[in-house]
C-alpha cells in the first residue's frame, strides 16, 4: 500500500510544476478533495519524523513489533543478545535477518556481527575449483563466497 506521504509528495511536486488540481487528480486517479487536502497539509507532513523502521518490509516490522521491539536501539540489543535470530521471534528467517543487518548497515547503525558456526562440507572437484575461482575473482574468503551464494539462493527460492 502506498503511504499518504508518498502520494502527498507527488501531488505537491505536480502542483509546484504548475499543474491544476483537476489535472493532478486525474493523473493520480484520486479525488480532487484528496489532492487539495494533501497539498494543504504537505508542509505539516514533511515536518513529521519518519518512523524508526523506515525502509524495512512491512512483514519484518510486524514480526519485530509482535516481539516488543519498537526502536532501532531495541533491535540492535535484541540482535546482540540473541532475542532476534532465525525462528525468533516468529516469522524471522534467514532472509529477514539479512534484511535487518543490511538495513542497519545501510542506515549507518552498527551492530555486532552475526555469530558464525563452523561446518564441514564435502565438495566435488568441480565445486572446489569453482570455489577457488570465485575466491580469486571476488577477493573474498571461502566462507564469504559460500555465505553469499547460499543467502542469494535462499532469496531467489523465496521469490519463486
Over the chain (160 residues), what is each successive 10-residue block's mean pLDDT?
73 91 93 92 78 87 92 90 88 87 80 69 92 93 87 68
Domain count, the chain: 3
Give a yes or no: residue 112 inside a domain.
Answer: no
| Entry pTM | 0.49
User: How many angstroms separate the CA atoms of 30 and 92, rounded?
Assistant: 36
Enclosing domain of residue 141: 125-159
Q: Are 92 and 59 in contact (CB under 8 A)?
A: no
Burial (CB count <10 Å: 0-12, 13-18, 19+), residue 38? buried
Q: Does some domain include residue 116? A: no
In a domain, 27, yes or no: yes
Q: How far is CA 100 from the centre of its chain?
A: 7
The pLDDT assigned to 1 comes to 39
Q: Determine, yes or no, domain membership for 66.
A: yes
Is there a single domain that holds both residue 100 and residue 62? yes
Amino acid at each position: 500500500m502506498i503511504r499518504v506521504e508518498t502520494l502527498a509528495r507527488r501531488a505537491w511536486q505536480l502542483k509546484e510544476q504548475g499543474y491544476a488540481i483537476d489535472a493532478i487528480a486525474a493523473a493520480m486517479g484520486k479525488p480532487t478533495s484528496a489532492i487539495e487536502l494533501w497539498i494543504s497539509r504537505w508542509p505539516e507532513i514533511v515536518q513529521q519524523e519518519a518512523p524508526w523502521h523506515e525502509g524495512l518490509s512491512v512483514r519484518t516490522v510486524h514480526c519485530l513489533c509482535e516481539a516488543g521491539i519498537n526502536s532501532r536501539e531495541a533491535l540492535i540489543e535484541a540482535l546482540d543478545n540473541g532475542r532476534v535470530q532465525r525462528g525468533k521471534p516468529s516469522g524471522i528467517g534467514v532472509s529477514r535477518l539479512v534484511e535487518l543487518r543490511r538495513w542497519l548497515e545501510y542506515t549507518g547503525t552498527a551492530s555486532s556481527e552475526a555469530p558464525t558456526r563452523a561446518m564441514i562440507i564435502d565438495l566435488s572437484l568441480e565445486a572446489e575449483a569453482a570455489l577457488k575461482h570465485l575466491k580469486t575473482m571476488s577477493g573474498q574468503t571461502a566462507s564469504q563466497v559460500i555465505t553469499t551464494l547460499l543467502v542469494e539462493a535462499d532469496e531467489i527460492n523465496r521469490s519463486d
